[in-house]
Structure 1
Amino acid sequence: MRDQDPASGRAERRLSTRETAELLGVKPETVYAYVSRGQLSSRRAPGGRGSTFDAQEVAALARRNRREGGVSTGAGGELSVRTRITLIDQDRYFFRGVDATELATRHSYEEVAEWLWTGRMRPGVTFAAPEQAVAAARRAVRSLPEHTSPVDRLRVAAIAAAAEDPMRFDLSEEAVLGTARVLIPTLVAALPQRPSAARPEDGPLARRLWSRLTGYAADEASLRVLDTALALLADHDLAASTLAVRVAASARAHPYAAVSTGLGVIEGPLHGAASGLAHRLLLDVLEQGTAVPVIADELRAGRRIPGLGHRLYPGEDPRARVLFALLEQVPRAESALLAARDIVATTARHTPLHANVDLALAVFTVATGMPATAGETIFAVARTAGWIAHALEEYGERPLRMRPSGHYVGPPPPQPVPE
């Protein structure tokens, strides 16, 4: 609609409340909150039905919101996103302001997940999967080829569980939390059991995951390593997979779809699959009896030594430090620990690098008879908690704020239509 501006005599374009809300990406009631705060001015619509808003004023507010919407580009050209979940600072990291390593050593994975999601601790909390969701996920996973990777199985399980949930598009906090508490155990339950493994279907998530990773009998020291690893890996700021999850959540994808997005990203060798490379390196060192020829071959081939160094930790990776200390209590981990120390010491002759969490996971998976893919599975299950925490946070932000503009460098238009 257009009204005549008495001061200038020009016609000014007015927007309805609904149009204003759509342009700002907010609910209609938020538009009136802007008015009450003096950020927008309103005028009664002709006939007294609702209010109208100046289009130029609304456009200016939308531009300001985009600048202040929590997404910006830092001095180094890196994307920066406002978050209250994880802080990494000076070789330490924090979950909602609390030292993450202390949380992980004192609380179960499920308790840490609840802390990430709500900022509240729920002592003794466990997650249970609904039978229908588990049955659907298992049917879908069983239909996959035998050589399918664990992360592919998890992604298919997430999609199957979504199809079983008609309320998946409810993005209210309560509904998303309900989804989170059933999705993670559903993913674990959908993974095939290892031969000769015990078959627990309840209790702590770490115990349920154990039987999907190895046929070895579970001992308390090893279970504690697994549970602590899950808690330590639950989140790690805006890793590539987490950023992808936030983009999906910004477009209002439901939690299952957001988690599936994260699972699609972690398969790269520089992200979730890095522990598998460290696992194979460790096996080579154990077979050779020394790290020297193995490291020499890696350097000769121009390959980066897996399991060493981390771009966010100039010093020691705090997650590795915690896991190595716990692995000292696992008797069958002794030879793998010695091999890991040999890798670090041998590489230090070339370049001094600390062991990272991938090498610690490799020691654990080798010592407990797990396959090379087990570290990636642990990583994926663990990080699902963080992905949901970030999705929850993103659902509270302006929709589609994670929409950068392309910097076009192609041929100048218009070009002739090709024959």
Structure 2
Amino acid sequence: MTDQAVADDGPGSTGGRLTTRETAERLGVKPETVYAYVSRGQLSSSRAPGGRGSTFDAAEVDALARRTGRREQPAPAGELTFRTGITLIGDDRYYFRGVDAVELAGRHTYEEVAEWLWTGELRPGVRFTAPHEALAAARRAVGALPSHCGSTDRLRVAVVAAAAADPLRFDLSREAVLGGARSLIPTMAAALPPAGGEAADSEDTSAGLARQLWPKLTARPADEASLAVLDTALALLIDHDLAASTLAARVAASARAHPYAVVSAGLGVLEGPLHGAASGPAHRMLTEVVERGGAAPVVADHLRAGRRVPGLGHRLYSGEDPRAAALFDLLAQVPQAAPALAAARDVVATTARHTPLHANVDLALAALSVATGMGAEAGETVFAISRTAGWIAHALEEYGERPLRMRPSGHYTGPRPPQPLPDATEAPSQ
């Protein structure tokens, strides 16, 4: 982790305070220059606990960086890196603001974890509520879509409709962005059609997000154990560093797109089969394993066809994805999940005979969706709604950076100029 003690400053940054070394890195200067800023009155400092070195207010340091023009440290060749205080992944674990994300999701609701990610503060019992006008607009727009549309199509349309209903969407102040996020996320969930085809007599919009989302994913009645799994899944998936959709969201925020547009950018990338939609193939595979009574013939079919086995392996974890491990532990407490959970474990064990791949979160989402009668798109829906909070967190960080800082140069491989003007193509005869 990067927030451990430094040699010249005692304990690492805590409570919004930075050490001299961290301040110098954030400003892109030498430690001596940091104290020059202090002597000129451009920064204020306090003695670190124990009297070893000084600490600096992170917000004040960021403000100075914006005024002076932060000098980013060069990234390794061919890599694009960002300073972020949101998620750290290392040693087969991941952390939200330095706190173990699995432990956080196991003890707090999705909304509480989202607030922690956004503000660094826990708000016990917090609930997100969809405003009437935005929700009505989103439902009308979603309702006008063809019946064959997928859930991500509906979510994208719901976000655009909610944006159109919000005249303050261009206010990029922290308070406005957070207020919009707290209303957008439940609007996305509530705008989806019910899984059973008919809306409930009355929807409890004051309930937690997992309970609001449940009837959109399955026609089965909710039980508390299954709701707990869904809520934990939402909390676990909020962020995962700079995944492809998060990078797209940060690029949009760098151009000062409003938060709804940032979320739309993330949704556009999330729908790819290698990202948010990856749980769909895993769902279909587990369904087949349950029906055929074992994983061996199903895995064999995938290998014979040259297809990778869904739900296995993750480039950031050498062992089992910690998100999958957490969800499997919770599913083990749900009696009706036993067949799907056994199928998932059978897939892992069968594939391990050929290659040492471990379960990832897509396989765990598939086990949840198969066990609860959800459709193949359920995992993608959970992923998209959950990750919206992460995109907002990254947008807040990016709004504090220099605008349009992500401007890579293209390596042109076309014909060298000057080339002659092209000949006009004659229109075909009628």
TM range (shorter): 0.7 to 0.9
Contact 2:193 2:199 in 1 (8 A): no
What is the alpha-carbon distance in structure 2 between the residues aligned to residue 163 and residue 372 of structure 1? 30
What pairs up with 1:2-401 in 2 under 5 angstroms? 65=69, 68-69=71-72, 72-75=74-77, 77-195=78-196, 198=200, 199-401=203-405
Partner of 2:51: none
What is the alpha-carbon distance in structure 1 between the residues aligned to residue 399 and residue 159 of structure 2? 19
Contact 1:69 1:401 in 2 (8 A): no
Deviation at 1:74? 2.4
Partner of 1:14: none
What is the alpha-carbon distance in structure 2 between the residues aligned to residue 378 and residue 313 of structure 1? 22
What is the alpha-carbon distance in structure 2 between the residues aligned to residue 223 and residue 197 of structure 1? 19
TM-score, structure 1 as length reference: 0.83
What is the alpha-carbon distance in structure 2 between the residues aligned to residue 112 and residue 212 of structure 1? 22
Percent identical? 72
Deviation at 1:413? 1.6
Deviation at 1:204? 0.4
Partner of 2:46: none
Q: Secondary structure at the match of 2:81?
A: strand
Q: Secondary structure at the match of 1:94?
A: strand
Q: Secondary structure at the match of 1:381?
A: helix
Q: 1:37 to 1:402 in 2, by over 3 A?
A: farther
Partner of 1:407: 411
What is the alpha-carbon distance in structure 2 between the residues aligned to residue 73 and residue 333 of structure 1? 45
Rg: which structure is higher?
Answer: 1
Contact 2:130 2:205 in 1 (8 A): no
In the alignment of these two chains, the number of paired residues is 359
Query: Which runs of no fewer than 5 residues in structure 2 stay unpaired?
Result: 1-36, 43-64, 424-430
Q: Deviations over 1:74-124 (max 9, x none)?
A: 24x232111110000010000011100011001000000001111111111
What is the alpha-carbon distance in structure 2 between the residues aligned to residue 103 and residue 277 of structure 1? 29
Deviation at 1:200? 3.0
Letter in 2 for 1:405: S
What is the alpha-carbon distance in structure 2 between the residues aligned to residue 147 and residue 197 of structure 1? 18
Give me the CA root mean square deviation. Answer: 1.8
Q: Deviations over 1:270-291 (max 9, x none)?
A: 1000001100000111111111
What is the alpha-carbon distance in structure 1 between the residues aligned to residue 160 and residue 406 of structure 2? 23
Q: Secondary structure at the match of 2:318?
A: coil
Deviation at 1:69? 3.5
Deviation at 1:418? 1.4
What is the alpha-carbon distance in structure 1 between the residues aligned to residue 252 and residue 350 of structure 2? 43
Query: Which runs of no fewer than 5 residues in structure 1 stay unpaired?
Result: 1-32, 39-60
Q: Secondary structure at the match of 1:79?
A: coil
Q: Secondary structure at the match of 2:167?
A: coil
Contact 1:252 1:395 in 2 (8 A): yes
Deviation at 1:37? 8.5
Deviation at 1:315? 1.1
What is the alpha-carbon distance in structure 2 between the residues aligned to residue 185 and residue 292 of structure 1? 41
Letter in 1 for 2:327: L
Q: Deviations over 1:318-359 (max 9, x none)?
A: 000100000001110000111111100110111011111000
Q: Secondary structure at the match of 1:87?
A: strand
Q: Deviations over 1:201-227 (max 9, x none)?
A: 321000000010001110000000000
Q: Secondary structure at the match of 2:95?
A: strand
What is the alpha-carbon distance in structure 1 between the residues aligned to residue 72 and residue 206 of structure 2? 42
Deviation at 1:65? 4.7
What is the alpha-carbon distance in structure 2 between the residues aligned to residue 381 and residue 123 of structure 1? 21
What is the alpha-carbon distance in structure 1 between the residues aligned to residue 153 and residue 243 of structure 2? 19
TM-score, structure 2 as length reference: 0.81
What is the alpha-carbon distance in structure 2 between the residues aligned to residue 197 and residue 230 of structure 1? 23
Q: Deviations over 1:118-163 (max 9, x none)?
A: 1111111000111000000000000000011101100000000000
Deviation at 1:197? 7.1
Dislocated runs of 4+, deviation >2 Å? 72-75, 196-202
Deviation at 1:409? 1.9
Q: 1:302 to 1:316 in 2, by over 3 A?
A: same
